[in-house]
Amino acid sequence: MLNKIESLKAEISGLKASSEAEVEELRIKYLSKKGAISQLMNDFRTVPADQKRELGAKLNELKNLATETINGLRAAALEKEAADSAAALDLTRTAAPVPQGSRHPLNIVRNEIVDIFSRLGFSLAEGPEIEDDWHVFSAMNFAADHPARDMQDTFFISRNPADVLLRTHTSSVQARVMEQTQPPIRVVCPGRVYRNEAISARAHCFFHQVEALYVDRNVSFADLKQALLFFAREMFGPETQIRLRPSYFPFTEPSAEMDISCNICGGKGCAFCKHTGWVEILGCGMVDPAVLDACGIDSKVYTGYALGMGIERITNLKYRVNDLRLFSENDVRFLDEFVSAR
């Protein structure tokens, strides 16, 4: 027993703890009813009478040492925690409750769109907002005299020696991906874009888009339609219907615009859908072979589809926001409406 007492003395003398919780663990280990010292006290009953006086004194010394050591560690731990708490105290913080924030509605919808396409195997791709003419226009099959190149539609940063501009669509990201990657390609490209338009409730000089691109062997318009139907029903509900109308875009052929059955009136007709029962949400089509060739992809081997939509447009449909300017004015009364949104 004497050896056990001396061993515990050496062990207790070297104890360390950095928190009150660690000190409590040490107290339980050595001083609790089932602790090491209590076990020695129980064994003391079997000690011969002629050894009790010496061993009893040693046990008392051990218990006092353990008590003093653990109390000292507890005091040091409490002092350290108090100092840490004081250091973390922000004396400049207002005494009033801090209001709960929320994600911006455009970010909520952007993340939902990206999540839907990620379930179809699309990966996220992003690119610069300051672009060159090649990636914004030329690679996308825009003619040299296309109206989109005019100052009335595009914010040019410089015209010589090369056109540098604020991108007018996120198709420039698709061009960069196709230049750097060989098929199969399946990407979704969200981002902010800029156009020289008068600011009003229905238009803004900057807004946000999400575009998707799929290029591989034997990609067909049927693949595009199925992806569009899946997206529409995941975003607006399982009863949503879609329709495709022929259209024109320089970078797709054939091209189409997609409408969904109005999710406000259920397709019966209301002021929002102009009593038609349908609302346009995006443009799409098969990637023009000239675009594939311009980006270094063999159009005789690969085909693909592309689609693009305005995030503000989708947000309007989901949350019925009737003024685009609200998205960029940072009015907390407007943003507070989305605290409980995903």
Q: What is the chain's Cα-based Rg?
A: 35
- Per the prediction, the chain carries an average pLDDT of 86
Percent of the chain with pLDDT over 70: 96
Statement to judge: residues 43 and 110 lie in one domain: no
Residue 340 pLDDT exceeds 70: no
Statement to judge: residues 160 and 253 lie in one domain: yes
Statement to judge: residues 317 and 171 lie in one domain: yes
Task: Note the pLDDT tens digit of each residue in 275-305.
Answer: 888 989 999 999 999 999 999 999 999 999 9
Q: What is the pLDDT of residue 152?
A: 64
Average pLDDT over residues 20-37: 80
> Is residue 6 a part of any domain in this protein?
yes
Cβ contact 154:166 at 8 Å: yes
In the three-class reduction of DSSP (H, G, I as helix; E, B as strand; rest coil), residue 277 is classed as: coil
Q: Give 169's DSSP letter.
A: S
Statement to judge: residues 241 and 311 lie in one domain: yes
Going across the sheet that includes 242-249, the strands are: 123-124, 185-194, 206-216, 303-310, 278-287, 252-261, 242-249
- CA-to-CA distance for 56 and 43, rounded, in angstroms? 11
Q: Domain end: 88, 113, 135, which one?
A: 88
Between the alpha carbon of residue 196 and those of residues 119, 237, 322, the distances in Å are 35, 35, 21
Number of folded domains that form the chain: 2
- CA-to-CA distance for 77 and 83, rounded, in angstroms? 10
Domain that holds residue 227: 105-338
Residue 67 pLDDT exceeds 70: yes
Provide the greatest CA pair distance for the chain. 114
Q: Domain end: 34, 60, 88, which one?
A: 88
- CA-to-CA distance for 244 and 264, rounded, in angstroms? 20
DSSP result, 26-49: HHHHHHSTTSHHHHHHHHHTTS-H
Cβ contact 186:214 at 8 Å: yes
Q: What is the pLDDT of residue 342?
A: 53
Statement to judge: residues 262 and 141 lie in one domain: yes
Statement to judge: residues 140 and 169 lie in one domain: yes
Give the distance from CA 263 to its chain's centroid: 26
**pTM score of the predicted model:** 0.68
Statement to judge: residues 7 and 118 lie in one domain: no
Task: Note the pLDDT tens digit of each residue in 133-187.
Answer: 899 999 998 887 777 767 668 888 887 767 898 999 999 999 999 999 999 999 9
Statement to judge: residues 227 and 286 lie in one domain: yes
